[in-house]
Amino acid sequence: MGTDAVPEGTGRRLGRGQFLRGAAVGGAALALSLGAPRGAEAQGMTGAGAYLPTGGQFEIVHGDQSAIVTEVGATLRSFSVAGLELLDTFGVDEMSDASRGQVLLPFPNRVDGGLYEFEGEEQQLPLTEAAANNAIHGLTRWLDWTPLRWTASGVTLCQRLYPQDGYPFLLALQIEYSLSDLGLTVATTATNVGDSPLPFGAGHHPYLTVGTRTIDAATLRLPARTTLETNDRLIPTGRSSVAGTDFDFRDGREIGATQLDTCFTDVIPEADGFTRVYLTHPDGSPQITLGMDPSHGFIQVYTGDTLPEEDQRRGIAIEPMTCAPNAFNSGDGLRVLAPGESFTSVWGMVCR
Protein backbone atom coordinates (compact mmCIF):
# COMPACT_ATOMS: atom_id res chain seq x y z
CA MET A 1 0.00 0.00 0.00
CA GLY A 2 1.25 3.43 -0.81
CA THR A 3 0.35 6.93 -1.87
CA ASP A 4 -0.01 7.80 -5.53
CA ALA A 5 2.06 10.82 -6.54
CA VAL A 6 -0.19 13.20 -8.47
CA PRO A 7 1.33 16.26 -10.15
CA GLU A 8 0.06 19.60 -8.99
CA GLY A 9 -2.69 20.90 -11.22
CA THR A 10 -4.40 17.55 -11.76
CA GLY A 11 -6.71 18.31 -8.84
CA ARG A 12 -7.98 21.39 -7.03
CA ARG A 13 -7.35 22.74 -3.57
CA LEU A 14 -10.28 24.17 -1.67
CA GLY A 15 -9.80 27.17 0.62
CA ARG A 16 -11.94 27.59 3.73
CA GLY A 17 -13.88 30.45 2.20
CA GLN A 18 -14.66 28.37 -0.89
CA PHE A 19 -15.72 25.48 1.33
CA LEU A 20 -18.13 27.60 3.34
CA ARG A 21 -19.68 29.05 0.18
CA GLY A 22 -20.05 25.57 -1.31
CA ALA A 23 -21.52 24.15 1.89
CA ALA A 24 -24.25 26.76 1.83
CA VAL A 25 -25.80 25.10 -1.22
CA GLY A 26 -25.43 21.53 0.02
CA GLY A 27 -22.99 18.65 -0.11
CA ALA A 28 -23.84 17.60 -3.66
CA ALA A 29 -23.24 21.07 -5.03
CA LEU A 30 -19.97 21.21 -3.11
CA ALA A 31 -18.76 18.07 -4.86
CA LEU A 32 -19.82 19.50 -8.23
CA SER A 33 -17.95 22.74 -7.51
CA LEU A 34 -14.70 20.80 -7.01
CA GLY A 35 -14.90 19.46 -10.52
CA ALA A 36 -14.50 15.69 -10.15
CA PRO A 37 -13.50 14.15 -13.47
CA ARG A 38 -16.40 11.69 -13.33
CA GLY A 39 -18.61 13.82 -11.06
CA ALA A 40 -22.35 14.07 -11.45
CA GLU A 41 -22.97 10.82 -13.29
CA ALA A 42 -20.98 8.65 -10.86
CA GLN A 43 -22.33 10.46 -7.83
CA GLY A 44 -25.99 10.30 -8.80
CA MET A 45 -26.45 14.06 -8.52
CA THR A 46 -29.51 15.88 -9.78
CA GLY A 47 -28.13 19.41 -9.97
CA ALA A 48 -26.99 22.33 -7.86
CA GLY A 49 -28.68 22.47 -4.47
CA ALA A 50 -29.44 18.75 -4.35
CA TYR A 51 -28.87 17.17 -0.95
CA LEU A 52 -27.66 13.62 -0.39
CA PRO A 53 -27.90 11.74 2.94
CA THR A 54 -24.09 11.53 3.15
CA GLY A 55 -23.33 14.89 1.52
CA GLY A 56 -20.75 15.35 -1.23
CA GLN A 57 -19.40 12.22 -2.94
CA PHE A 58 -15.68 12.33 -3.67
CA GLU A 59 -14.70 9.80 -6.32
CA ILE A 60 -11.06 8.92 -6.92
CA VAL A 61 -9.67 6.70 -9.69
CA HIS A 62 -6.41 4.97 -10.55
CA GLY A 63 -6.31 2.50 -13.46
CA ASP A 64 -9.21 0.07 -13.01
CA GLN A 65 -9.63 0.98 -9.33
CA SER A 66 -12.12 3.50 -7.99
CA ALA A 67 -13.29 4.61 -4.56
CA ILE A 68 -15.95 6.98 -3.28
CA VAL A 69 -15.61 8.84 0.02
CA THR A 70 -18.50 10.83 1.49
CA GLU A 71 -18.51 14.26 3.07
CA VAL A 72 -20.51 12.95 6.06
CA GLY A 73 -18.18 11.03 8.33
CA ALA A 74 -15.37 10.79 5.73
CA THR A 75 -17.00 7.42 5.07
CA LEU A 76 -15.67 4.95 2.49
CA ARG A 77 -18.82 4.22 0.48
CA SER A 78 -17.27 2.29 -2.41
CA PHE A 79 -14.07 0.51 -3.43
CA SER A 80 -14.15 -1.35 -6.73
CA VAL A 81 -11.62 -2.98 -9.03
CA ALA A 82 -12.38 -3.66 -12.71
CA GLY A 83 -16.03 -2.89 -12.01
CA LEU A 84 -16.33 -5.36 -9.11
CA GLU A 85 -17.60 -3.73 -5.92
CA LEU A 86 -15.60 -5.06 -2.95
CA LEU A 87 -17.66 -3.44 -0.19
CA ASP A 88 -21.03 -4.53 1.12
CA THR A 89 -22.21 -0.97 1.21
CA PHE A 90 -25.09 1.52 0.89
CA GLY A 91 -26.46 3.56 -1.98
CA VAL A 92 -25.83 7.18 -2.84
CA ASP A 93 -29.40 8.00 -1.75
CA GLU A 94 -29.06 6.22 1.62
CA MET A 95 -27.38 6.88 4.95
CA SER A 96 -24.77 4.45 6.23
CA ASP A 97 -26.36 1.66 8.22
CA ALA A 98 -24.59 -0.71 10.64
CA SER A 99 -21.56 1.64 10.47
CA ARG A 100 -20.77 0.58 6.88
CA GLY A 101 -17.51 2.22 5.79
CA GLN A 102 -17.42 4.63 8.71
CA VAL A 103 -14.39 6.09 10.49
CA LEU A 104 -14.35 5.49 14.26
CA LEU A 105 -12.77 8.44 16.11
CA PRO A 106 -11.66 9.27 18.79
CA PHE A 107 -12.44 5.71 19.90
CA PRO A 108 -13.47 2.57 18.02
CA ASN A 109 -15.97 0.01 19.29
CA ARG A 110 -17.46 0.48 22.78
CA VAL A 111 -16.98 2.36 26.04
CA ASP A 112 -18.67 0.61 28.97
CA GLY A 113 -21.67 2.69 30.01
CA GLY A 114 -20.07 5.59 28.13
CA LEU A 115 -18.28 6.29 31.41
CA TYR A 116 -14.53 6.67 31.94
CA GLU A 117 -12.04 8.54 34.08
CA PHE A 118 -9.14 10.51 32.61
CA GLU A 119 -6.63 12.70 34.43
CA GLY A 120 -8.69 12.32 37.60
CA GLU A 121 -11.92 13.58 36.00
CA GLU A 122 -14.97 11.38 35.37
CA GLN A 123 -16.48 11.74 31.89
CA GLN A 124 -19.84 10.57 30.54
CA LEU A 125 -20.16 10.03 26.77
CA PRO A 126 -23.54 9.89 25.01
CA LEU A 127 -25.01 6.36 25.05
CA THR A 128 -25.12 5.78 21.30
CA GLU A 129 -25.71 2.04 21.77
CA ALA A 130 -28.62 2.60 24.12
CA ALA A 131 -29.90 -1.00 24.19
CA ALA A 132 -26.55 -2.17 25.62
CA ASN A 133 -25.91 0.99 27.66
CA ASN A 134 -22.68 1.73 25.78
CA ALA A 135 -21.07 4.53 23.83
CA ILE A 136 -20.05 3.17 20.44
CA HIS A 137 -17.79 4.05 17.50
CA GLY A 138 -16.68 7.53 18.45
CA LEU A 139 -18.01 11.03 17.84
CA THR A 140 -17.37 11.92 14.18
CA ARG A 141 -19.47 9.48 12.14
CA TRP A 142 -22.26 11.96 11.37
CA LEU A 143 -20.23 15.17 11.11
CA ASP A 144 -19.45 17.01 7.86
CA TRP A 145 -15.76 16.74 6.99
CA THR A 146 -14.01 19.57 5.13
CA PRO A 147 -12.21 18.56 1.91
CA LEU A 148 -8.67 19.97 1.84
CA ARG A 149 -7.47 18.48 -1.44
CA TRP A 150 -9.10 16.38 -4.18
CA THR A 151 -7.09 15.00 -7.09
CA ALA A 152 -7.78 12.31 -9.65
CA SER A 153 -6.47 9.58 -7.34
CA GLY A 154 -6.73 10.97 -3.82
CA VAL A 155 -8.84 13.00 -1.42
CA THR A 156 -7.95 14.49 1.96
CA LEU A 157 -10.61 15.59 4.45
CA CYS A 158 -10.33 17.19 7.87
CA GLN A 159 -12.38 17.71 10.99
CA ARG A 160 -11.91 19.64 14.22
CA LEU A 161 -13.52 17.99 17.22
CA TYR A 162 -14.32 20.65 19.80
CA PRO A 163 -14.67 20.13 23.57
CA GLN A 164 -18.03 18.62 24.48
CA ASP A 165 -19.79 16.63 27.18
CA GLY A 166 -17.85 13.41 27.69
CA TYR A 167 -14.85 14.50 25.61
CA PRO A 168 -13.71 17.95 26.76
CA PHE A 169 -10.67 18.08 24.46
CA LEU A 170 -9.66 19.87 21.28
CA LEU A 171 -8.62 17.47 18.53
CA ALA A 172 -7.72 18.09 14.87
CA LEU A 173 -8.28 15.14 12.53
CA GLN A 174 -7.23 14.49 8.94
CA ILE A 175 -7.87 11.47 6.68
CA GLU A 176 -6.24 10.86 3.32
CA TYR A 177 -7.61 8.25 0.91
CA SER A 178 -5.37 7.49 -2.05
CA LEU A 179 -5.26 4.97 -4.91
CA SER A 180 -2.09 3.68 -6.53
CA ASP A 181 -0.67 0.52 -8.06
CA LEU A 182 -0.50 -0.73 -4.46
CA GLY A 183 -4.27 -0.39 -3.96
CA LEU A 184 -6.22 1.84 -1.58
CA THR A 185 -4.32 3.51 1.26
CA VAL A 186 -6.02 5.25 4.20
CA ALA A 187 -3.91 7.47 6.49
CA THR A 188 -5.51 8.98 9.60
CA THR A 189 -3.75 11.70 11.60
CA ALA A 190 -4.89 13.06 14.96
CA THR A 191 -3.30 16.13 16.54
CA ASN A 192 -3.95 17.43 20.04
CA VAL A 193 -4.44 21.15 19.45
CA GLY A 194 -5.61 21.82 22.99
CA ASP A 195 -3.67 22.60 26.15
CA SER A 196 -4.13 19.31 28.04
CA PRO A 197 -3.52 15.60 27.32
CA LEU A 198 -6.32 13.60 25.69
CA PRO A 199 -7.19 9.92 25.13
CA PHE A 200 -7.35 8.65 21.55
CA GLY A 201 -7.98 5.56 19.45
CA ALA A 202 -8.79 5.05 15.76
CA GLY A 203 -10.70 2.47 13.77
CA HIS A 204 -12.42 1.90 10.44
CA HIS A 205 -15.48 -0.21 9.62
CA PRO A 206 -15.51 -1.59 6.05
CA TYR A 207 -17.69 -4.59 5.19
CA LEU A 208 -15.94 -6.74 2.56
CA THR A 209 -17.36 -9.07 -0.07
CA VAL A 210 -15.70 -11.24 -2.73
CA GLY A 211 -18.94 -11.62 -4.68
CA THR A 212 -20.45 -14.68 -2.98
CA ARG A 213 -24.13 -14.58 -1.97
CA THR A 214 -23.07 -14.90 1.67
CA ILE A 215 -19.65 -14.92 3.28
CA ASP A 216 -19.97 -18.59 4.33
CA ALA A 217 -18.16 -20.00 1.29
CA ALA A 218 -15.33 -17.44 1.40
CA THR A 219 -11.95 -18.23 2.95
CA LEU A 220 -10.62 -16.02 5.75
CA ARG A 221 -6.97 -15.91 6.82
CA LEU A 222 -6.44 -13.78 9.91
CA PRO A 223 -3.06 -13.91 11.69
CA ALA A 224 -3.91 -13.43 15.37
CA ARG A 225 -3.12 -15.61 18.38
CA THR A 226 -5.83 -14.49 20.80
CA THR A 227 -9.31 -13.04 21.02
CA LEU A 228 -10.85 -10.83 23.67
CA GLU A 229 -13.45 -12.51 25.84
CA THR A 230 -16.48 -10.29 26.45
CA ASN A 231 -19.62 -10.05 28.54
CA ASP A 232 -23.09 -9.98 26.98
CA ARG A 233 -22.65 -6.25 26.22
CA LEU A 234 -19.41 -6.96 24.26
CA ILE A 235 -17.17 -5.34 26.88
CA PRO A 236 -13.83 -7.22 27.20
CA THR A 237 -13.29 -9.33 30.30
CA GLY A 238 -10.12 -11.25 29.36
CA ARG A 239 -8.16 -13.00 26.59
CA SER A 240 -8.28 -16.49 25.11
CA SER A 241 -6.02 -18.37 22.73
CA VAL A 242 -7.56 -19.13 19.35
CA ALA A 243 -5.81 -22.53 19.26
CA GLY A 244 -8.30 -25.35 18.90
CA THR A 245 -11.31 -23.01 18.60
CA ASP A 246 -13.65 -21.84 15.85
CA PHE A 247 -11.78 -18.51 15.99
CA ASP A 248 -8.50 -19.90 14.64
CA PHE A 249 -8.08 -18.50 11.13
CA ARG A 250 -4.28 -18.30 11.21
CA ASP A 251 -3.83 -20.81 8.38
CA GLY A 252 -6.90 -19.68 6.44
CA ARG A 253 -10.13 -21.64 6.18
CA GLU A 254 -13.70 -21.39 4.96
CA ILE A 255 -15.80 -19.14 7.21
CA GLY A 256 -18.72 -21.57 7.09
CA ALA A 257 -21.31 -21.03 9.81
CA THR A 258 -18.87 -19.39 12.26
CA GLN A 259 -20.47 -16.36 13.92
CA LEU A 260 -18.16 -13.52 14.84
CA ASP A 261 -18.49 -10.23 16.65
CA THR A 262 -15.03 -10.71 18.00
CA CYS A 263 -11.87 -8.69 18.61
CA PHE A 264 -8.66 -10.45 17.59
CA THR A 265 -5.31 -9.40 19.03
CA ASP A 266 -1.74 -10.57 19.51
CA VAL A 267 -1.54 -10.13 15.76
CA ILE A 268 1.24 -11.69 13.69
CA PRO A 269 2.82 -9.16 11.30
CA GLU A 270 4.60 -10.03 8.07
CA ALA A 271 8.28 -9.23 7.40
CA ASP A 272 7.56 -5.55 6.62
CA GLY A 273 5.77 -5.02 9.94
CA PHE A 274 2.29 -4.87 8.39
CA THR A 275 -0.42 -7.30 9.51
CA ARG A 276 -2.51 -8.63 6.62
CA VAL A 277 -5.94 -10.26 6.54
CA TYR A 278 -6.99 -12.19 3.42
CA LEU A 279 -10.56 -12.79 2.21
CA THR A 280 -10.75 -15.09 -0.82
CA HIS A 281 -13.47 -16.33 -3.16
CA PRO A 282 -13.88 -20.15 -3.23
CA ASP A 283 -12.39 -20.17 -6.76
CA GLY A 284 -9.26 -18.37 -5.53
CA SER A 285 -10.07 -15.02 -7.11
CA PRO A 286 -10.93 -12.34 -6.25
CA GLN A 287 -8.85 -12.09 -3.12
CA ILE A 288 -8.96 -8.96 -0.96
CA THR A 289 -5.92 -8.22 1.18
CA LEU A 290 -6.50 -5.77 4.04
CA GLY A 291 -3.23 -4.58 5.55
CA MET A 292 -2.51 -2.39 8.57
CA ASP A 293 0.59 -0.81 10.04
CA PRO A 294 2.02 -1.76 13.46
CA SER A 295 -0.15 0.81 15.26
CA HIS A 296 -3.14 -1.48 14.66
CA GLY A 297 -2.89 -4.16 17.33
CA PHE A 298 -6.58 -5.10 17.28
CA ILE A 299 -8.92 -6.37 14.56
CA GLN A 300 -12.68 -6.56 15.17
CA VAL A 301 -14.46 -9.03 12.88
CA TYR A 302 -18.26 -9.05 12.50
CA THR A 303 -20.20 -11.51 10.35
CA GLY A 304 -23.43 -9.53 10.56
CA ASP A 305 -25.59 -12.14 12.28
CA THR A 306 -27.49 -9.54 14.32
CA LEU A 307 -28.40 -7.38 11.32
CA PRO A 308 -31.86 -7.48 9.71
CA GLU A 309 -32.41 -10.86 8.03
CA GLU A 310 -31.93 -9.60 4.48
CA ASP A 311 -28.51 -8.14 5.43
CA GLN A 312 -27.14 -11.00 7.51
CA ARG A 313 -23.78 -12.48 6.43
CA ARG A 314 -23.89 -10.54 3.15
CA GLY A 315 -20.47 -9.10 3.92
CA ILE A 316 -17.88 -9.37 6.68
CA ALA A 317 -16.70 -6.33 8.64
CA ILE A 318 -12.94 -6.45 9.14
CA GLU A 319 -12.13 -3.47 11.32
CA PRO A 320 -8.53 -2.32 11.92
CA MET A 321 -8.30 -0.67 15.35
CA THR A 322 -5.44 0.99 17.21
CA CYS A 323 -6.90 0.10 20.61
CA ALA A 324 -9.17 -2.46 22.20
CA PRO A 325 -12.89 -2.04 22.88
CA ASN A 326 -13.35 -0.08 26.12
CA ALA A 327 -9.76 1.20 25.95
CA PHE A 328 -10.83 4.48 27.58
CA ASN A 329 -11.22 2.38 30.74
CA SER A 330 -8.75 -0.49 30.30
CA GLY A 331 -5.97 1.50 28.60
CA ASP A 332 -5.40 -1.47 26.26
CA GLY A 333 -3.76 0.12 23.21
CA LEU A 334 -4.93 3.62 24.20
CA ARG A 335 -2.86 6.57 22.97
CA VAL A 336 -2.56 9.59 25.25
CA LEU A 337 -1.63 12.60 23.12
CA ALA A 338 0.18 15.47 24.79
CA PRO A 339 -0.59 19.05 23.68
CA GLY A 340 0.82 19.51 20.19
CA GLU A 341 1.40 15.76 19.68
CA SER A 342 0.24 13.97 16.51
CA PHE A 343 -0.42 10.30 15.81
CA THR A 344 -0.81 8.75 12.35
CA SER A 345 -2.12 5.26 11.56
CA VAL A 346 -2.21 3.66 8.10
CA TRP A 347 -4.22 0.78 6.64
CA GLY A 348 -5.42 -0.17 3.19
CA MET A 349 -6.75 -2.75 0.75
CA VAL A 350 -5.73 -4.34 -2.52
CA CYS A 351 -7.53 -6.90 -4.71
CA ARG A 352 -6.21 -9.45 -7.15
Asked if residue 15 belongs to a domain, the reply is no
Q: Give domain status of residue 213, yes or no.
A: yes
- Closest among 172, 141, 167, 201 to 330, alpha carbons compared: 201
- The answer to whether position 29 is within a domain reads no
pLDDT for the residue numbered 51: 86
Do 80 and 343 touch, CB atoms closer than 8 A?
Answer: no
Residue 99 DSSP code? T
CA gap 306, 195 in Å, rounded: 42
CB-neighbour burial class of residue 93 (10 A; exposed 0-12, middle 13-18, buried 19+): exposed
142 inside domain: yes
For residue 147, tell me if it sits in a domain: yes
Per residue in 48-80, pLDDT (tens digit) is 335 899 999 999 999 999 999 999 999 999 999
Which residues of the chain are modeled with pLDDT < 50? 1-49
Residue 249 is given by DSSP the state: -
Residue 351 lies in a domain: yes
Give me the CATH number covering residue 263. Answer: 2.70.98.10
- Please tell me the pTM assigned to this model: 0.87
Residue-range definition of the domain harbouring residue 69: 61-352
| Structural domain includes residue 227 | yes
Strand partners, 298: 321
Reading phi first (left if > 0) and then psi (alpha if -120 to 50, else beta), residue 150 is in beta
| Structural domains in the chain (count) | 1
Determine the Cα angle at 347 with ends 224 and 92, to 5°: 115
pLDDT at 256: 98
- The helix/strand/coil state of 325 is coil
Is 16 domain-assigned? no
Q: Could you report the per-residue pLDDT of 228-249, keeping only the tens digit for each?
A: 999 999 999 999 999 999 999 9
**Which residues, 6 or more positions from 35, have their beta carbon under 8 angstroms from its beta carbon?**
12
